[in-house]
């Protein structure tokens, strides 16, 4: 391990040991996912999960939308921060995940605050009223990031937020050799279009795999 890697590792350990612990149910979910699912690394994880909860507390949204549920980990974290009467809608295209997701949503204290919708987000988003959401978390197919953004923008209230995950894509946004990979292309296209989009304010946080915070003007 080089000095830089070691320092980053210790900093991460320090951050984890000085932040809120991961709730027991989410620890259990992660273990289950690592044992039984493909690609468990897609899960937001401990620190990003605590951050999502904190952001939701700060924004105090009535309606939240998540695009890309996977196991339900980040859905539970988002719902943890909701105020009384707040509700989260989370969309997952892969119906094979439904049993796993429901197993954990049903055990969660947040269960009543979460509606799981199985289907393609691009079909489901148009069924919501305009200006309905105060916060949207985009974390699905990287090739469709711009499509999700355009579909969801009219559904977000003025002053509302959109968070977009993985916008640094493991540093591949800087690496010319990955430009042909369609997922990297999707992220690059999204980041470039967003950077010059006057309808919104935006800032990329270099947290985990890059998290873009967007505010609708």
Map the footprint of ligand SAM across residues 171-210, applying CB under 6 A: none
Closer by beta carbon to ligand SAM, 1 or else 48: 48
The binder of ligand SAM chosen from 26, 64, 78, 140 (CB under 6 A): 140
Q: How far is the CB of 96 from ligand SAM (least distance, A)?
A: 9
Pairing of strands 211-216, 156-165: antiparallel
Per the CB < 8 A criterion, the answer to whether 108 and 153 are in contact is: no
Q: Which residues pair with 92 in a beta bridge?
A: 118
Neighbours of 201 (CB within 10 A): 12
Residue 93 sits in the site that holds ligand SAM (CB under 6 A): yes
209 vs 215: CA distance, rounded Å: 20
- The stretch among 12-20, 79-87, 89-97, 101-109 that binds ligand SAM (CB under 6 A) is 89-97
According to CB under 6 A, which one of 74, 108, 110, 184 is a site residue for ligand SAM?
Answer: 74
Instruction: Quote the tokens at residue 186.
Output: 């999707």
Tokens (6 digits) for 188: 């690059």
Contact set with ligand SAM (CB under 6 A): 42-44, 67-68, 70-71, 73-74, 91-94, 120-122, 139-141, 144
């Amino acid at each position: 391990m080089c000095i830089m890697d070691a320092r980053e590792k210790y900093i991460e350990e320090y951050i984890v040991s000085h932040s809120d612990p991961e709730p027991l149910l989410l620890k259990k979910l992660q273990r289950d996912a690592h044992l039984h699912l493909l690609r468990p690394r897609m899960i937001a994880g401990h620190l990003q999960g605590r951050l999502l909860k904190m952001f939701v507390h700060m924004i105090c949204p009535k309606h939240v939308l998540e695009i890309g549920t996977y196991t339900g980990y980040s859905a539970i974290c988002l719902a943890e921060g909701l105020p009384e009467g707040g509700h989260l809608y989370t969309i997952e295209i892969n119906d094979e995940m439904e049993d796993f997701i429901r197993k954990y949503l049903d055990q969660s204290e947040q269960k009543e605050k979460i509606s799981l919708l199985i289907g393609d987000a691009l079909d489901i988003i148009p069924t919501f009223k305009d200006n309905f959401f105060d916060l949207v978390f985009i974390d699905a197919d990287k090739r469709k990031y711009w499509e999700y953004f355009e579909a969801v923008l009219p559904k977000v209230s003025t002053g509302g937020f959109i968070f977009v995950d993985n916008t640094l894509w493991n540093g591949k946004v800087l690496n010319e050799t990955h430009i042909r990979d369609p997922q990297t292309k999707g992220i690059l296209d999204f980041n470039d279009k967003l950077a010059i989009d006057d309808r919104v304010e935006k800032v990329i946080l270099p947290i985990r795999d890059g998290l873009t915070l967007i505010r609708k003007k």
